Amino acid sequence: MTLLEGRVAVVTGGSSGIGRGISLAFAEQGADVVVCDVREDPKEGGLPTHEKIESDTDASATYVELDVTDPSAFENAMDAAEAFGGVDIMVNNAGVWWPEDFLTVTEDEFQRMMDINVKGVYFGAQAAAGRMSQGGGGSIINISSVNGIYGNGGYPTYTATKGAVRTLTYSLAHGLGERDIRVNAIHPGAINTKIGPEDMETSEEQMAQLEAMIPLGRRGEPDDVAGVAVFLASDLAKYVTGESIVVDGGWTSWR
């Protein structure tokens, strides 16, 4: 049984990390996938996501170069989805993160993170919802963070962006429900990806301290998030909208 047979998904930030994991999981469940990103090659190495989908599954996939800070660019992704039958699932996953000192954050640094993490989600959802409204509905999944639920002094701008994604999700679920479009958010915790700066290194001691704080005793992997995305995209969640699902190994449950 494939949960997403006959569906078409658009995934931003789909070349690497969580977006790659979601794209591959969707394809394994029967969906055709439009992989959108500013770079085609995955940060982790290996085949580009769309090529891996076509080599490892029966699904079809294509890559669209997409900068989520340009609202007009989303139409290219929607047009690519039309070639497969039209978008049914939109995953707004593209995002950036870096540690910062609140007292030294510049306006440009603040605006860049807002443009990618909030503006990109807003206009990605808008573009998808416009097409879904013509096609009978669909599922929009916004990737937030546990930092969209609680604050962290080490990265205040990132926390602000992810809080915005959480409440935007609730607003869109309310406003788009009459169009049969479900909108939900996933809040990952510490996931093993390369979302941070390329020159940032974490020592084994720091990693051990982090994992000791997680009840399940390990960092998550992209497929841990992907499984939840499959659920939200499928008919198993046909009466689920306006929800936030935390995927963090239990980290926030005792904070």
- Whole-number percent of the chain with pLDDT over 70: 96
- The closest of 191, 229, 205, 174 to 7, measured between CA atoms, is 229
- The closest of 251, 239, 249, 232 to 3, measured between CA atoms, is 232
Place of tokens 């604050």: 151
pLDDT digits (tens, 9 = 90+) for 173-189: 999 999 999 999 999 99
- Which CATH superfamily groups domain 8-254? NAD(P)-binding Rossmann-like Domain (3.40.50.720)
- The answer on pLDDT for 199 being more than 60 is no
pLDDT band for position 204 (cuts 50, 70, 90): confident
- CA 201 vs CA 15, 49, 80, 196: distances in Å: 22, 25, 37, 9
Q: Is 240 exposed, middle or buried (0-12, 13-18, 19+ CB in 10 A)?
A: middle
pLDDT band for position 201 (cuts 50, 70, 90): low
* Token reading at 118: 């909030």
- CA 57 vs CA 49, 50, 141, 252: distances in Å: 12, 10, 23, 35
Please give the positions annotated as active site.
158
CA–CA separation, 158 vs 155, rounded Å? 6
pTM of the model as a whole: 0.95
- Where b means 16+ CB within 10 Å and e means fewer, 145-169 reads bbbbbeeeeebbbbbbbbbbbbebb
Mean pLDDT throughout 218-225?
A: 96
Mean pLDDT throughout 40-66?
A: 97
- The answer on pLDDT for 255 being more than 80 is no
pLDDT digits (tens, 9 = 90+) for 131-156: 999 989 999 999 999 999 998 899 99
Given this model, what pLDDT does residue 200 score? 57
Nearby residues of 181 by Cβ (< 8 Å), 6 or more positions away: 129, 132, 133, 137, 138, 139, 140, 172
pLDDT band for position 219 (cuts 50, 70, 90): very high
Enumerate the domain spans of the chain.
8-254
Given this model, what pLDDT does residue 196 score? 62
